[in-house]
Structure 1
Amino acid sequence: MRLALLALTVGCISVGSQTFAFESVSSGYNSVESLELQLSDKEAEYSAFINTLNSLNEQFNAETEKLALLRSRGDELKKARALALLNMNEQYEALVDNPEQDIAQAQTAYRQAIQNQKQNKDDIKNTVSLITSLKKQLADANLQRFTLANAREALVEEIRISRVKRLQKEFDKQDQIQTSQSVACDAQETLKQCITRSNQLAKQKASKQFVDGLFADATESNKISQNKDNSAAQVRLLNHKVESGEFSGQGNYSTTVTVELQGSLPNAEACKLLELSTRYCTYDKEHAQIAPVNVDAGNTITLNDEGVMYELTIRSDQYDDEVFIDGVSYGSTKLSVMLSAGLHDIVITKPGYLDHQEQVRLNKNKTVKAELVKSAINFANGEPVQDILPGDELGPELIGVPSGRFQMGDLKGAGLSNEKPARGEEILRPFAIAQHQITVGDFKRFVKATNYVTEAESENGCAAFIDGKPAYNSVLNWRNPGFKQDDEHPVVCVSDNDAKAYLAWLTKQTDRTYRLPTEKEWEYVARAGSVDNYWWGSDIGNGRANCAYCGSKWSNVSTSPIKSFRPNRLGLYDTVGNVWELTNGEKVVARGGSWNFAPKLARTSVRLELAPGFRSNYVGFRVLREN
């Protein structure tokens, strides 16, 4: 065992003058035992809830099958009614030849056919109503399942933290040990040197006994003893007293020493002994520094004022284009400039469009009308893409993503049922996707341009966790999510309908097709080639993302500014944590985890199913551009 013996001194009743810095270990922590009881209760609650959810799913499936049978039966009853009507009409026609003929049976059969069809329609209506109600219950139940799962995972995290605190406290112990030591004095030693060596060995022996006792007395002794040989547990000698010492006739010296000792576990040592991630012992803050962008003043425009001048008017069918005349930018169309007579090179550009190039000979006033043609899209891997909005505002920062194949779903076999099965998928067409989640600043530009009112503002507010459950709060919305944000934070408290409204506006402003990514597209870019739980590996690590118990200053507190953590291999930020991201599909599903959800629920394959219109202060979105 690598034992750090600190401040062992030679001589009696003395402590070395060297100063040692120790991190204080808080004695306050939740009892591991009480947390384990809570976890057991939560596991039982979760298991019971899953049984209820399964029953709800079974009822939904049964009603869906029933509806299919009723509709099939409806087709049969429609035919039966038509047949009964035909039969009754034939009976009426037969009355002409035989007035005595009894048609009551045919009339009764027709009335019964009508009644049967009416009953079938009522049954269909009632079943559809029940299925609609069950859909709502299932959506709420799926959200509740994640709430329970998050509470369960939070307890798992708290237990690990408390285990660390408990072990640190158990090692942060002070004690006195009395030990005896005999040595054979060396012929080259003086008596004083022999006494000193005996006392020193006695103190070392006491220190080893002290450490052995710390390991033996620890609650998780069996666990940590397996890692004892590589332990860096520290022992500090506070004081010692020589109780007795004597020489024997054989040149031996025996001493009895009482030693006062203090133990401690430095930094991440408790995590190593317990075989836990070091994030439970220490937190390293990572802050991405965003360098300011210096904007060049541009070129000075100098016109050739020699000779005759003519007016050149330039128009195009696009706004926010840029006109270059003889290599000098004149801004966007429509514009009119006075130029000298002669040849002039005209280039009209706009991102995403082919350049319009034309040479004009000015010998009179002229007008150039250009029709810009969209360029073919071929998003190269990592190609930066950014549209310009009206007023020279910049759209979301995008990254080009190539087509490709990948493995999707629960690849490790430890996920929730809706993450299964694991399967191979293929992205057939390249696309561009936002580098980061849509920010408050991005959404603010949309609201300013359209006077849009979100569902949280017009209805009953935005959901936030209260007593471990999401509940709507009428004062919360994207402007006030319940914690401090600035324009660089991801927008939250927006529903899937709010996101679609933003995307429709963005599409109109750019003449490009913007939408939410599908789940397949989202997982493709979030994995960035990885088959692990997170794009960097199987463990959440410390300070790598903003999720509960993930070691950042925002964990369990609030959203973090975009680009606060390293991007993945495709250049995308926050595909793990910060806010859940809405996706495009038949169901409202969010991916990626958030600042207040446990690390296990920030795995790449986790799917959070939400009710339509749901909004909360932990759900946002990221945009995708198709063309």
Structure 2
Amino acid sequence: MVNLWLNIRNRSGKINMRLALLALTVGCISVGSQTFAFESVSSGYNSVESLELQLSDKEAEYSAFINTLNSLNEQFNAETEKLALLRSRGDELKKARALALLNMNEQYEALVDNPEQDIAQAQTAYRQAIQNQKQNKDDIKNTVSLITSLKKQLADANLQRFTLANAREALVEEIRISRVKRLQKEFDKQDQIQTSQSVACDAQETLKQCITRSNQLAKQKASKQFVDGLFADATESNKISQNKDNSAAQVRLLNHKVESGEFSGQGNYSTTVTVELQGSLPNAEACKLLELSTRYCTYDKEHAQIAPVNVDAGNTITLNDEGVMYELTIRSDQYDDEVFIDGVSYGSTKLSVMLSAGLHDIVITKPGYLDHQEQVRLNKNKTVKAELVKSAINFANGEPVQDILPGDELGPELIGVPAGRFQMGDLKGAGLSNEKPARGEEILRPFAIAQHQITVGDFKRFVKATNYVTEAESENGCAAFIDGKPAYNSVLNWRNPGFKQDDEHPVVCVSDNDAKAYLAWLTKQTDRTYRLPTEKEWEYVARAGSVDNYWWGSDIGNGRANCAYCGSKWSNVSTSPIKSFRPNRLGLYDTVGNVWELTNGEKVVARGGSWNFAPKLARTSVRLELAPGFRSNYVGFRVLREN
């Protein structure tokens, strides 16, 4: 049996068919299964149609909820205006009472000189003034009580809005994954095609060569016909056909049979061939055709991480390199840098590591310098030499800062941040209403901020020193997502958040009051002022000079952060250890995902997304408004130290 691969690519309207003889066969990349917090999928993938119906229902639910939320906001604003009017009227009624009292006293004095003087009207006016003032005070008291209740309802409603938005975004992610799966299955077809081909034999070739050329052209013709059929028959044919010209869709020739062949008197040879073919979409080709991020093509749903794929120089999936390892040596011109290979930290240069054959993403980073990014295809031992360039953005005191606690223990690892200007809010026009309007902001004073979220180990030192009891431990526990909604569980707290953690994981199940208690203790221990960052300060350092959705760009990518559908082994499973992903240009870790971070302000607002929230809700400008005292296993905090 002839075993051939044909790479089919359209360039300038021509079909370039390159045949390569392979001894091994390979199957298509598949996507596994995983249970998600917001829309549970027990096994496999739901159909695109089913998910789209769910999304339509969720959109309707979200729209109805927003209408309810708007009504609640309108009621809150109306009661606030009413309170202002009542207080203003209270001042007027106070003056009216004083005037009524003065008038009545004058009538009493007149009564002394004239016993016939009628003072009943003055007495009635004074009693009415007292009654009016009392009624106004009662109205103020009732309105204040109602406003307090409405504030609590609004806080709960804003949290519910995020719950619904997250469920909606989870469905969007599921639909995209299922669209990819559907297209891959539609291309993973096997068929037989019979085709005829006639060629004019060249005077320079033998009859055997002419026959071979005719048969080969017939097989190429069948392959082209097969690919065209795959594109035409696909569910999203109109969409993918727009991207067909640069497609790397592949066809494998499983077998062929020459049905007939004959020469004509004019030196032509005609052949009829039956070809058995197998189609596939290599690597991220389904995503390219559907114009989706490549992360949807490498998402392993069963293990919530990227499925490794080996490729050769022609982008053809091959088993020839499976198990082959090569040595990659990495050097840079800076000390104390950090090397990330495929999103995993390997420490500082000089570095030598054995890696599997194929493509690898190399990133070399150092605070105050631009990232060196390079994609390396390993088909032999290679060396990468990088020259790091200082960032054009002046990050001034980007020096590490770390205070010493009693007992020679180290406080949180901090990074110095300079004053500066930046653009804050929804800069791309696709955010929620509370992210708008986008505006220019200025940080007037430099500060130092923690490189990573406060860890279980950090919080454990505080509890050990103070015997502090968190609100989750003293009250009704900590919230976790149950059936797509946050619900309190009395057994959950920072020691037991519902999944496995160690001292290097970010602490969760702490409220804003718990965070402030830790900060007060840290301030006392170090004689420095520690607090939560304001929203403006948080977004300033999280953006690190970027105007995109995430500090690295507009797309979440693969394995760059710990959030739902973000391609790491912790996605939608649990928190990840600090420093599991590369830092931003300021040297800060996990400003995207892992846990929502509490901020300092009049309202309790968390920023940054988390391990169980969709990528769209991990954008830099997203604001999660919470009720005071709220704690959950997806909310933590980061500290700021004033200079």
Q: Which interval holds the TM-score relative to the shorter structure?
A: 0.7 to 0.9
The 1:315/1:444 distance shift into structure 2, 3 A limit, reads farther
| CA contact 2:369–2:390 (8 Å) conserved in 1 | yes
2: distance between equivalents of 1:517 and 1:587? 13
- The reply on whether 1:558 has 2:565 as its aligned counterpart is no
Deviates more, 1:125-134 or 1:373-382: 373-382
Helix, strand or coil: the match of 2:340? strand
Per the TM alignment, residue 81 of structure 1 is displaced from its structure 2 partner at its CA by: 1.1
> Would the aligned equivalents of 1:224 and 1:273 in 2 still touch at CA under 8 Å?
yes
**1:63-212 mapped onto 2 (5 Å cutoff):** 63-212=79-228
CA contact 1:286–1:564 (8 Å) conserved in 2: no
Q: 1:516 to 1:199 in 2, by over 3 A?
A: same
Cα distance, 1:185 vs structure 2? 2.6
Of 453-462 and 13-22, deviating more is: 13-22
Asked if 2 retains the 8 angstrom alpha-carbon contact of 1:8 and 1:16, the reply is no
Q: State the Cα distance separating 1:307 from its structure 2 match.
A: 72
1:602/1:65 CA distance change after superposition, 3 Å: same
Q: Which moved more, 1:226-235 or 1:428-437?
A: 226-235
Distance 2:521 2:468 in 1: 10
TM-aligned CA deviation for residue 141 of structure 1? 0.8
User: How far apart are 1:222 and its partner, in Å?
Assistant: 1.3
Deviation per CA, 1:313-334: give whole Å up to 9, x if none: 9999999999999999999999
Q: By how many angstroms is 1:258 displaced?
A: 1.4
2:305 match: secondary structure: coil
Q: Structure 1 pair 202/290, CA: closer, same or farther in 2 (3 Å)? A: closer
**Residues 143, 608 of structure 1: 8 Å contact kept:** yes
Between 371-380 and 100-109, the greater mean CA deviation after superposition:
371-380
Contact 1:490 1:559 in 2 (8 A): yes
Q: 1:508 to 1:194 in 2, by over 3 A?
A: same
The 8 Å contact of residues 34 and 302 in structure 2, kept in 1 or not, is answered as no
Q: Does the CA-based 8 Å contact 1:378-1:430 persist in structure 2? A: no
CA apart distance, 1:338: 56
Shift of 1:405: 1.0
Alpha-carbon distance in 2 for matches of 1:301, 1:212: 21
Distance 1:531 1:305 in 2: 40
Deviates more, 1:597-606 or 1:15-24: 15-24
- 1:201-248 CA-to-partner distances (Å, cap 9, x unmatched) read 211111111111011111111111122121111111112222222332
The corresponding residue for 2:390 is 374
SS at match of 1:230: coil
| TM-superposed deviation, 1:451 | 0.6
Q: Which has the larger radius of gyration?
A: 1
**Is residue 298 of structure 2 the alignment partner of residue 298 of structure 1?**
no
Q: Look up the SS of the partner of 2:383 in the other structure.
A: strand
Structure 1 Cα separation of the partners of residues 242 and 341 of structure 2:
77
| Residues 367 and 587, structure 2, Cα contact 8 Å, conserved in 1 | no
Asked whether the equivalents of residues 286 and 552 of structure 1 are also in contact (C-alpha less than 8 Å), the reply is no
> Separation in 2 of the partners of 1:366 and 1:22?
44
| CA deviation after TM superposition for structure 1 residue 161, in Å | 0.8
**Matched residue of 1:2: which SS?**
strand
Q: Is the 8 A contact 1:440 1:491 kept in 2?
A: yes
Residues in 2 aligned to 1:28 and 1:84: alpha-carbon distance in whole angstroms: 80
Shift of 1:366: 65
Alignment deviations for residues 328-348 of structure 1 (CA, whole Å, 9 cap, x no partner): 999999999999999999999
TM-score, normalised with respect to structure 2: 0.79
Contact 2:332 2:349 in 1 (8 A): yes
Q: CA deviation at 1:92?
A: 1.8
CA drift at 1:22? 33
**Of 227-236 and 503-512, the range deviating more from structure 2:** 227-236
Deviation track 1:523-563 (CA, whole Å, cap 9, x = no partner) reads 11111111111111111111111111111111111111000
Alpha-carbon distance, 1:377 to partner:
22
Alpha carbons of structure 1 residues 178 and 551: separation in structure 2 relative to 1, 3 Å: same
Report the Cα distance in structure 1 between the residues aligned to 2:49 and 2:533, rounded to whole angstroms.
44
Aligned residue for 2:18, secondary structure, equals coil
Q: Would the alpha carbon gap of residues 555 and 91 (structure 1) be closer, same or farther in structure 2, given more than 3 Å must change?
A: same
Contact in 2 for aligned 1:5/1:236 (Cα 8 Å) = no
Q: What does the per-residue CA deviation read over 1:269-325, in whole Å, with 9 as the maximum and x for residues that have no partner?
A: 111111111111115999999999999999999999999999999999999999999
Change in Cα spacing, 1:580 to 1:5, as seen in structure 2 (3 Å) is farther
Identity %: 100
Query: Distance between the aligned counterparts of 2:387 and 2:192, measured in 1?
Result: 91
Return closer, same or farther for 1:6/1:277 CA change in 2, 3 Å cut-off: farther
Q: CA, structure 1 residues 545+100, in 2 after alignment: closer, same or farther (shift >3 Å)?
A: same
**Which residue in the other structure is 1:604 paired with?**
620
Q: Tell me by how many angstroms 1:572 deviates.
A: 0.5
How far 1:251 moved relative to its partner? 2.5
* 2:492 and 2:509 in contact (8 A); partners too: yes
Q: 1:482 to 1:513 in 2, by over 3 A?
A: same
For residue 124 of structure 1, report the CA deviation from its aligned partner: 0.6
Which residue is 1:485 aligned to? 501
Larger mean Cα displacement after TM superposition, 8-17 or 69-78 = 8-17
Question: What does the per-residue CA deviation read over 1:376-416, in whole Å, with 9 as the maximum and x for residues that have no partner?
Answer: 99995211111111111110000111111111111111111
Report how far residue 430 of structure 1 moved: 0.8
**Is the 1:9–1:16 contact (alpha carbons within 8 Å) kept by the matching residues of 2?**
no
Q: Secondary structure at the match of 1:249?
A: coil
Q: Structure 1 residues 30, 518: closer, same or farther in 2, change over 3 A? A: same
The change in CA–CA distance for 1:337 and 1:545 in structure 2 (over 3 A counts) is closer
- After superposition, the Cα gap between the structure-2 partners of 1:242 and 1:494, relative to the gap in structure 1 and judged at 3 Å, is same
In structure 2, what is the equivalent of residue 404 of structure 1? 420
**Residues 497-506 or 331-340, more deviating:** 331-340
Residues 91-139 of structure 1: CA distance to partner in whole angstroms, max 9, x if unpaired? Answer: 2222211222222111111111111111111111111111011101110
For the Cα contact (< 8 Å) 2:368–2:398, is it kept in 1? no
Q: Once the two structures are superposed, what CA deviation does each residue of 1:39-95 show, in whole Å capped at 9, x if it has no partner? A: 122112111111111111111111000000001111111111111112112222222
Conserved in 1, the CA contact under 8 Å of 2:367 and 2:586? no
Instruction: Indicate the larger mover: 347-356 or 171-180.
Output: 347-356
Contact 1:546 1:559 in 2 (8 A): yes
Decide whether the 8 Å contact of 2:51 with 2:174 is kept in 1. yes
Contact 2:32 2:300 in 1 (8 A): no
Report the secondary structure of 2:631's partner residue: coil
Instruction: Return closer, same or farther for 1:602/1:109 CA change in 2, 3 Å cut-off.
Output: same
Contact 1:588 1:610 in 2 (8 A): yes
Counterparts of 1:550 and 1:30, CA distance in 2: 19
Structure 1 residues 80 and 447: alpha-carbon distance in aligned structure 2, compared to 1, 3 A threshold: same
The alpha-carbon distance between structure 1 residues 372 and 153, as it changes in their structure 2 partners (threshold 3 A), is closer
SS of 1:229's equivalent?
coil
Shift of 1:261: 0.8
State the aligned residue count: 627
- Deviation for aligned residue 1:191: 3.4
Instruction: Classify the secondary structure of the residue corresponding to 1:115.
Output: helix
CA–CA separation in structure 2 for the residues paired with 1:388 and 1:281: 47
Q: Distance in 1 between matches of 2:165 and 2:528?
A: 39
Q: Shift of residue 29 of structure 1?
A: 2.2
Unaligned runs of 5+ in 2: 1-16
Maintained 8 Å contact 2:31/2:299: no
**Distance in 2 between residues matched to 1:224 and 1:54, nearest whole Å:** 40
Q: Which moved more, 1:248-257 or 1:221-230?
A: 248-257
**Secondary structure at the counterpart of residue 320 of structure 1:** coil
Q: Secondary structure at the match of 2:251?
A: strand
Distance 1:309 1:120, change over 3 A: same
Residues 185-204 of structure 1: per-residue CA shift (max 9 Å, x gap): 33344433333222222111
Q: Is the 8 A contact 2:192 2:274 kept in 1?
A: yes
Query: TM-score when scaled to structure 1?
Result: 0.81
RMSD across aligned positions (CA): 17.9
| Contact residue 582 and residue 588 of structure 1 kept, 8 A | yes
1:418-447 deviation line (CA, Å, top 9, x unaligned):
111111111111111000000000000000
Matched position secondary structure for 2:252: strand
Cα distance change of structure 1 residues 406 and 253 upon mapping to structure 2, 3 Å threshold? same
> 1 CA distance for matches of 2:421 and 2:109?
70
8 Å contact from structure 2 (residues 607, 622) kept in 1: yes
288, 303, 322: which one aligns with 2:304 = 288
Rate the CA distance shift 1:288–1:233 in 2: closer, same or farther, 3 A: closer
Q: Residues 154-196 of structure 1, C-alpha deviation per residue, up to 9 Å, x if partnerless?
A: 1111111111111100001111111111222333444333332
Matches of 1:126 and 1:174, distance apart in 2? 74
Cα separation, partners in 2 of 1:83 and 1:332, compared to 1, 3 Å: farther
Q: Distance in 2 between matches of 1:415 and 1:144?
A: 17
User: Aligned to 1:438, what secondary structure does the other structure show?
Assistant: coil
